[in-house]
Structure 1
Amino acid sequence: MNRFLSNATNKIDAKGRVSVPSVFRTVLSALDIKDLYCFQDFVFPAISIGGPELLDRFERQIASEDPFSPQANEMSLLIHGGGVFTKLDQEGRLMVTDFIRDFTGITKEVTFVGRSDHFQLWEPQAFEAMQAEAREKRRLRGLPLP
Protein backbone atom coordinates (compact mmCIF):
# COMPACT_ATOMS: atom_id res chain seq x y z
CA MET A 1 0.00 0.00 0.00
CA ASN A 2 1.63 3.22 -1.14
CA ARG A 3 -1.27 5.69 -1.51
CA PHE A 4 -3.28 7.67 1.03
CA LEU A 5 -6.92 6.72 0.50
CA SER A 6 -10.22 7.15 2.36
CA ASN A 7 -10.98 9.37 5.33
CA ALA A 8 -11.31 9.01 9.09
CA THR A 9 -12.19 11.34 11.94
CA ASN A 10 -10.33 11.18 15.27
CA LYS A 11 -10.65 13.15 18.50
CA ILE A 12 -7.93 15.48 19.74
CA ASP A 13 -6.74 14.50 23.23
CA ALA A 14 -6.36 16.82 26.23
CA LYS A 15 -2.72 17.50 25.31
CA GLY A 16 -3.61 18.61 21.77
CA ARG A 17 -2.57 15.40 19.99
CA VAL A 18 -4.51 13.32 17.48
CA SER A 19 -3.84 9.74 16.41
CA VAL A 20 -3.07 9.43 12.72
CA PRO A 21 -5.21 6.61 11.28
CA SER A 22 -3.34 3.32 11.14
CA VAL A 23 -3.85 2.98 7.37
CA PHE A 24 -2.10 6.34 6.89
CA ARG A 25 0.72 5.35 9.27
CA THR A 26 1.14 2.15 7.22
CA VAL A 27 1.64 4.23 4.06
CA LEU A 28 4.10 6.54 5.84
CA SER A 29 6.06 3.49 6.96
CA ALA A 30 5.94 1.82 3.53
CA LEU A 31 7.27 5.01 1.93
CA ASP A 32 9.82 5.48 4.76
CA ILE A 33 8.51 8.97 5.53
CA LYS A 34 9.68 10.18 8.93
CA ASP A 35 9.69 13.96 8.50
CA LEU A 36 6.30 15.36 7.55
CA TYR A 37 6.04 18.50 5.44
CA CYS A 38 2.79 20.33 6.20
CA PHE A 39 1.44 23.27 4.23
CA GLN A 40 -1.70 25.33 4.08
CA ASP A 41 -3.65 24.03 1.09
CA PHE A 42 -3.91 26.45 -1.83
CA VAL A 43 -7.67 25.98 -2.30
CA PHE A 44 -9.27 24.29 0.70
CA PRO A 45 -9.30 25.16 4.42
CA ALA A 46 -7.08 22.15 5.06
CA ILE A 47 -3.50 21.32 5.96
CA SER A 48 -1.81 19.07 3.40
CA ILE A 49 0.82 16.64 4.70
CA GLY A 50 3.38 14.53 2.89
CA GLY A 51 7.02 13.65 2.93
CA PRO A 52 9.94 15.92 2.01
CA GLU A 53 9.49 14.88 -1.65
CA LEU A 54 6.25 16.89 -1.67
CA LEU A 55 8.22 20.03 -0.82
CA ASP A 56 10.88 19.01 -3.38
CA ARG A 57 8.21 18.84 -6.09
CA PHE A 58 7.05 22.39 -5.35
CA GLU A 59 10.63 23.67 -5.22
CA ARG A 60 11.36 22.12 -8.64
CA GLN A 61 8.35 23.99 -9.98
CA ILE A 62 9.67 27.26 -8.50
CA ALA A 63 13.15 26.56 -9.93
CA SER A 64 11.64 26.20 -13.41
CA GLU A 65 10.38 29.81 -13.21
CA ASP A 66 12.26 33.07 -13.33
CA PRO A 67 13.16 33.49 -9.62
CA PHE A 68 11.89 37.09 -9.70
CA SER A 69 8.61 36.31 -11.44
CA PRO A 70 5.29 36.80 -9.67
CA GLN A 71 4.57 33.07 -10.11
CA ALA A 72 7.78 31.98 -8.35
CA ASN A 73 7.27 34.51 -5.57
CA GLU A 74 3.65 33.51 -5.02
CA MET A 75 4.53 29.82 -4.92
CA SER A 76 7.38 30.42 -2.46
CA LEU A 77 5.09 32.50 -0.27
CA LEU A 78 2.59 29.63 -0.20
CA ILE A 79 4.89 26.63 0.22
CA HIS A 80 7.65 28.16 2.33
CA GLY A 81 5.69 30.84 4.21
CA GLY A 82 2.73 28.50 4.70
CA GLY A 83 4.66 25.35 5.50
CA VAL A 84 6.31 23.63 8.45
CA PHE A 85 7.97 20.30 9.21
CA THR A 86 6.70 18.02 11.97
CA LYS A 87 6.95 14.40 13.11
CA LEU A 88 4.65 11.85 14.63
CA ASP A 89 5.34 10.86 18.23
CA GLN A 90 6.17 7.26 19.24
CA GLU A 91 2.45 6.39 19.41
CA GLY A 92 1.68 7.73 15.93
CA ARG A 93 0.11 10.97 17.10
CA LEU A 94 0.38 14.40 15.56
CA MET A 95 0.38 17.62 17.60
CA VAL A 96 -2.51 19.85 16.49
CA THR A 97 -0.72 23.19 16.67
CA ASP A 98 -2.03 26.74 16.28
CA PHE A 99 -0.64 26.61 12.72
CA ILE A 100 -3.18 23.85 12.00
CA ARG A 101 -6.06 25.17 14.12
CA ASP A 102 -5.91 28.76 12.88
CA PHE A 103 -5.97 27.81 9.19
CA THR A 104 -8.57 25.03 9.36
CA GLY A 105 -10.87 25.91 12.24
CA ILE A 106 -10.21 22.50 13.80
CA THR A 107 -11.18 22.38 17.48
CA LYS A 108 -12.03 18.95 18.96
CA GLU A 109 -11.79 16.49 16.06
CA VAL A 110 -9.72 16.10 12.90
CA THR A 111 -10.82 14.46 9.68
CA PHE A 112 -7.90 12.85 7.86
CA VAL A 113 -8.46 12.76 4.09
CA GLY A 114 -6.35 10.71 1.69
CA ARG A 115 -5.17 12.54 -1.43
CA SER A 116 -3.04 9.84 -3.10
CA ASP A 117 0.55 10.99 -2.44
CA HIS A 118 -0.34 13.08 0.62
CA PHE A 119 -3.16 13.49 3.11
CA GLN A 120 -5.03 16.42 4.55
CA LEU A 121 -6.33 17.56 7.93
CA TRP A 122 -9.83 19.03 7.86
CA GLU A 123 -12.38 20.32 10.31
CA PRO A 124 -14.96 17.49 10.06
CA GLN A 125 -18.02 19.54 9.07
CA ALA A 126 -16.01 21.54 6.53
CA PHE A 127 -14.87 18.30 4.88
CA GLU A 128 -18.39 16.87 4.79
CA ALA A 129 -19.73 20.08 3.23
CA MET A 130 -16.93 20.29 0.65
CA GLN A 131 -17.29 16.64 -0.32
CA ALA A 132 -21.08 17.04 -0.70
CA GLU A 133 -20.50 20.16 -2.83
CA ALA A 134 -18.02 18.29 -5.05
CA ARG A 135 -20.52 15.45 -5.55
CA GLU A 136 -23.28 17.91 -6.43
CA LYS A 137 -21.07 19.77 -8.92
CA ARG A 138 -20.23 16.49 -10.67
CA ARG A 139 -23.89 15.51 -10.73
CA LEU A 140 -24.92 18.86 -12.22
CA ARG A 141 -22.25 18.51 -14.93
CA GLY A 142 -23.55 15.03 -15.73
CA LEU A 143 -20.32 13.37 -14.64
CA PRO A 144 -20.33 9.94 -12.98
CA LEU A 145 -20.05 9.80 -9.20
CA PRO A 146 -17.48 7.51 -7.59
Structure 2
Amino acid sequence: MLGVMNRFLSNATNRIDAKGRVSVPASFRSVLVERGIQELYCLQDFIFPAISIGGPDLLDRYERQIASVDPFSPEANRMSLLVHGGGVFMRLDAEGRLMVTDFIRDFTGIGTEVTFVGRSDHFQLWQPQAFHEAQAAARAGRFPRPA
Protein backbone atom coordinates (compact mmCIF):
# COMPACT_ATOMS: atom_id res chain seq x y z
CA MET A 1 0.00 0.00 0.00
CA LEU A 2 1.20 3.52 -0.75
CA GLY A 3 2.25 5.76 2.11
CA VAL A 4 0.67 9.19 2.47
CA MET A 5 3.70 10.99 1.06
CA ASN A 6 3.82 8.54 -1.82
CA ARG A 7 0.62 9.72 -3.53
CA PHE A 8 -0.15 12.48 -5.98
CA LEU A 9 -2.74 14.69 -4.26
CA SER A 10 -4.33 18.09 -4.82
CA ASN A 11 -4.00 20.35 -7.85
CA ALA A 12 -1.95 23.36 -8.90
CA THR A 13 -1.84 25.59 -11.95
CA ASN A 14 1.47 26.78 -13.41
CA ARG A 15 2.34 28.99 -16.39
CA ILE A 16 4.17 27.62 -19.41
CA ASP A 17 7.40 29.52 -20.12
CA ALA A 18 8.46 31.02 -23.47
CA LYS A 19 10.31 27.80 -24.37
CA GLY A 20 7.22 25.64 -23.81
CA ARG A 21 8.24 24.25 -20.41
CA VAL A 22 6.20 24.09 -17.23
CA SER A 23 7.42 23.48 -13.67
CA VAL A 24 5.98 20.36 -12.11
CA PRO A 25 4.73 21.21 -8.59
CA ALA A 26 7.31 20.46 -5.89
CA SER A 27 4.93 18.07 -4.08
CA PHE A 28 4.55 16.02 -7.30
CA ARG A 29 8.32 16.01 -7.88
CA SER A 30 8.77 14.72 -4.31
CA VAL A 31 6.43 11.80 -5.03
CA LEU A 32 8.36 10.99 -8.22
CA VAL A 33 11.60 10.92 -6.19
CA GLU A 34 10.00 8.91 -3.36
CA ARG A 35 8.73 6.34 -5.87
CA GLY A 36 12.02 6.27 -7.81
CA ILE A 37 10.34 7.37 -11.05
CA GLN A 38 12.71 8.93 -13.58
CA GLU A 39 11.09 8.05 -16.89
CA LEU A 40 7.51 9.25 -17.19
CA TYR A 41 4.86 7.34 -19.11
CA CYS A 42 2.36 9.84 -20.52
CA LEU A 43 -1.01 8.64 -21.79
CA GLN A 44 -4.04 10.34 -23.30
CA ASP A 45 -6.84 9.78 -20.77
CA PHE A 46 -9.64 7.50 -21.96
CA ILE A 47 -12.44 9.81 -20.77
CA PHE A 48 -11.18 13.30 -20.02
CA PRO A 49 -9.21 15.76 -22.22
CA ALA A 50 -6.19 15.20 -19.98
CA ILE A 51 -2.77 13.56 -20.13
CA SER A 52 -2.13 10.98 -17.39
CA ILE A 53 1.47 10.76 -16.21
CA GLY A 54 3.08 8.11 -14.05
CA GLY A 55 5.98 5.75 -13.94
CA PRO A 56 6.53 2.54 -15.87
CA ASP A 57 4.16 0.86 -13.38
CA LEU A 58 1.27 2.81 -14.95
CA LEU A 59 2.08 1.32 -18.37
CA ASP A 60 2.54 -2.12 -16.75
CA ARG A 61 -0.93 -1.89 -15.21
CA TYR A 62 -2.55 -1.21 -18.59
CA GLU A 63 -0.52 -3.95 -20.27
CA ARG A 64 -1.61 -6.47 -17.61
CA GLN A 65 -5.20 -5.53 -18.41
CA ILE A 66 -4.56 -6.07 -22.15
CA ALA A 67 -2.85 -9.41 -21.42
CA SER A 68 -5.86 -10.59 -19.40
CA VAL A 69 -8.02 -10.81 -22.54
CA ASP A 70 -7.58 -12.60 -25.87
CA PRO A 71 -4.74 -10.62 -27.57
CA PHE A 72 -6.60 -10.80 -30.89
CA SER A 73 -9.92 -9.62 -29.48
CA PRO A 74 -11.42 -6.25 -30.44
CA GLU A 75 -11.12 -5.20 -26.77
CA ALA A 76 -7.35 -5.90 -26.65
CA ASN A 77 -6.86 -4.12 -29.96
CA ARG A 78 -8.80 -1.03 -28.83
CA MET A 79 -6.91 -0.98 -25.52
CA SER A 80 -3.52 -1.24 -27.27
CA LEU A 81 -4.50 1.53 -29.67
CA LEU A 82 -5.17 3.79 -26.66
CA VAL A 83 -2.36 2.63 -24.35
CA HIS A 84 0.43 2.34 -26.91
CA GLY A 85 -0.79 4.61 -29.72
CA GLY A 86 -1.79 7.33 -27.24
CA GLY A 87 1.27 7.12 -25.02
CA VAL A 88 4.81 8.51 -24.99
CA PHE A 89 7.77 8.50 -22.61
CA MET A 90 9.09 11.82 -21.28
CA ARG A 91 11.56 13.07 -18.69
CA LEU A 92 11.72 16.16 -16.52
CA ASP A 93 14.65 18.49 -17.13
CA ALA A 94 17.22 19.26 -14.40
CA GLU A 95 14.98 22.04 -13.03
CA GLY A 96 11.92 19.77 -12.70
CA ARG A 97 10.18 21.10 -15.80
CA LEU A 98 8.17 19.19 -18.38
CA MET A 99 8.08 20.14 -22.06
CA VAL A 100 4.50 20.87 -23.10
CA THR A 101 4.62 19.20 -26.51
CA ASP A 102 2.10 19.19 -29.35
CA PHE A 103 1.15 15.68 -28.15
CA ILE A 104 -0.04 17.31 -24.91
CA ARG A 105 -1.46 20.53 -26.37
CA ASP A 106 -3.43 18.92 -29.20
CA PHE A 107 -5.20 16.46 -26.90
CA THR A 108 -5.89 18.79 -23.95
CA GLY A 109 -6.34 22.25 -25.46
CA ILE A 110 -3.69 23.58 -23.04
CA GLY A 111 -2.59 27.10 -23.97
CA THR A 112 -0.51 29.19 -21.56
CA GLU A 113 -1.22 27.41 -18.26
CA VAL A 114 -1.34 23.81 -17.07
CA THR A 115 -3.33 22.47 -14.14
CA PHE A 116 -1.60 19.51 -12.49
CA VAL A 117 -4.12 17.16 -10.89
CA GLY A 118 -3.18 14.41 -8.43
CA ARG A 119 -4.80 11.03 -9.09
CA SER A 120 -3.18 8.95 -6.30
CA ASP A 121 -0.63 6.80 -8.20
CA HIS A 122 -0.33 9.18 -11.17
CA PHE A 123 -1.09 12.80 -12.04
CA GLN A 124 -2.74 14.53 -14.95
CA LEU A 125 -2.20 17.64 -17.07
CA TRP A 126 -5.36 19.65 -17.78
CA GLN A 127 -6.35 22.89 -19.43
CA PRO A 128 -7.37 24.84 -16.27
CA GLN A 129 -10.98 25.66 -17.22
CA ALA A 130 -11.61 22.10 -18.43
CA PHE A 131 -10.42 20.78 -15.05
CA HIS A 132 -12.68 23.15 -13.10
CA GLU A 133 -15.66 22.17 -15.26
CA ALA A 134 -14.97 18.42 -14.93
CA GLN A 135 -14.49 18.72 -11.17
CA ALA A 136 -17.76 20.68 -10.83
CA ALA A 137 -19.57 18.04 -12.91
CA ALA A 138 -18.10 15.23 -10.79
CA ARG A 139 -19.15 17.05 -7.61
CA ALA A 140 -22.67 17.65 -8.95
CA GLY A 141 -22.98 13.98 -9.93
CA ARG A 142 -21.76 12.83 -6.53
CA PHE A 143 -23.74 15.33 -4.49
CA PRO A 144 -26.87 16.33 -6.43
CA ARG A 145 -28.33 19.58 -5.18
CA PRO A 146 -31.73 19.29 -3.50
CA ALA A 147 -34.65 20.67 -5.51
TM-score range, shorter chain: over 0.9
- Match for residue 2 of structure 1? 6
Q: In structure 1, how many angstroms separate the alpha carbons of the residues matched to 2:119 and 2:145?
A: 23
1:96 aligns with 2:100: yes
SS in 2 for 1:42: coil
What is the CA-CA distance between 1:49 and the residue it aligns to?
0.2
Output one character per residue of 1:92-142: Cα deviation in whole Å (capped at 9) or x when no partner: 000000000000000100000000000000000000011111111112188
- Match for residue 63 of structure 2? 59
Q: Which amino acid aligns with 1:60?
A: R
1:113 aligns with 2:110: no
- Match for residue 89 of structure 2? 85
Alignment of structure 1 residues 6-45 onto 2, 5 Å: 6-45=10-49
SS in 2 for 1:28: helix
1:49 aligns with 2:53: yes
Q: In structure 2, how many angstroms separate the alpha carbons of the residues matched to 1:48 and 1:102?
A: 14
Q: Which amino acid aligns with 1:96?
A: V
What is the CA-CA distance between 1:20 and the residue it aligns to?
0.0
Q: In structure 1, how many angstroms separate the alpha carbons of the residues matched to 2:144 and 2:11?
A: 24
Q: Which amino acid aligns with 1:75?
A: M
- Match for residue 126 of structure 1? 130
Identity among equivalent pairs (%): 77
Residues paired across the two proteins, number: 142
SS in 1 for 2:143: helix
What is the CA-CA distance between 1:28 and the residue it aligns to?
0.1
Q: Unmatched 5+ residue regions in structure 2?
A: none
What is the CA-CA distance between 1:78 and the residue it aligns to?
0.3
Out of 68, 74, 77, the residue aligned to residue 73 of structure 1 is 77
Q: In structure 2, how many angstroms separate the alpha carbons of the residues matched to 1:38 and 1:45?
A: 13
Q: In structure 2, how many angstroms separate the alpha carbons of the residues matched to 1:47 and 1:87?
A: 14
SS in 1 for 2:28: helix
What is the CA-CA distance between 1:81 and the residue it aligns to?
0.2
